[in-house]
């Protein structure tokens, strides 16, 4: 990310794009989600982690996400993950997107990758 927050009044309202890195053993994956509002930095990371652990997070259907997620709902633009697909080369490990205990174990990183400030 080239710039985050910066000068001016706080808080700043906007949308954060976030990468969630997943791993179990040698199996790895990464998914992307967004969070908007009057929130920043560690609060974004904490909210994403909490929502992911509880299975209460939706993901946009993108080629990046479709590689690592089997979505629940047919053709909706944003949907919950039915399962996450982690890869070790050609081997795939599927993690149930509804199993809260498993969800807590596979997060290895959360990174804010973009911020788009919304001006009123």
Q: How confident is the model at residue 119 (pLDDT cuts 50, 70, 90)?
A: confident
Residue 56 placed within a domain: yes
Residue 1 placed within a domain: no
- Please identify which residue in the block is written with the tokens 């709902």: 73
Would you tell me how many other CB atoms lie within 10 Å of the CB of residue 33? Answer: 20
Range(s) of the domain holding residue 71: 14-117
Residue 96 placed within a domain: yes
Residue 26 placed within a domain: yes
Task: Output the pLDDT for position 67.
Answer: 96
Query: Which one-letter DSSP state was computed for residue 112?
Result: E
Residues 41-76: tens digit of each pLDDT:
899 999 999 999 988 999 999 999 999 999 987 778
Residue 2 placed within a domain: no
CA–CA gap between residue 28 and residue 86 (Å, rounded): 5
Task: Output the pLDDT for position 9.
Answer: 65
Residues 11-32: tens digit of each pLDDT:
678 899 999 999 999 999 999 9
Residue 8 placed within a domain: no
Asked whether the predicted pLDDT for residue 10 surpasses 70, the reply is: no
- Alpha-helical (H) ranges within the chain are 42-54, 63-68, 100-106
Residues 76-108: tens digit of each pLDDT:
888 999 999 999 999 999 999 999 899 889 999
Residue 65 placed within a domain: yes
Task: Output the pLDDT for position 40.
Answer: 83
Would you tell me how many other CB atoms lie within 10 Å of the CB of residue 54? Answer: 11
The pTM of this model reads: 0.90
Query: Which one-letter DSSP state was computed for residue 41?
Result: T
Task: Output the pLDDT for position 6.
Answer: 67
Number of domains comprising the chain? 1
Task: Output the pLDDT for position 12.
Answer: 73
Phi, psi of 102 (to 5 degrees): -70, -40
Residue 68 placed within a domain: yes
């Amino acid at each position: 990310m080239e710039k985050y927050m910066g000068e001016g009044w706080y808080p700043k309202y906007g949308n954060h794009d976030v990468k969630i890195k997943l791993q179990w053993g040698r199996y790895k994956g990464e998914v992307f989600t967004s969070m908007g509002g009057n929130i920043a930095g560690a609060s974004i990371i904490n909210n994403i982690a909490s929502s992911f652990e509880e299975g209460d997070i939706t993901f946009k259907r993108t080629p990046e996400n479709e590689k690592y997620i089997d979505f629940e709902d047919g053709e909706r633009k944003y949907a919950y993950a039915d399962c996450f697909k982690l890869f070790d080369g050609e081997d795939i490990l599927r993690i149930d997107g509804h199993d809260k205990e498993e969800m807590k174990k596979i997060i290895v990183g959360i990174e804010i990758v973009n911020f788009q400030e919304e001006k009123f």
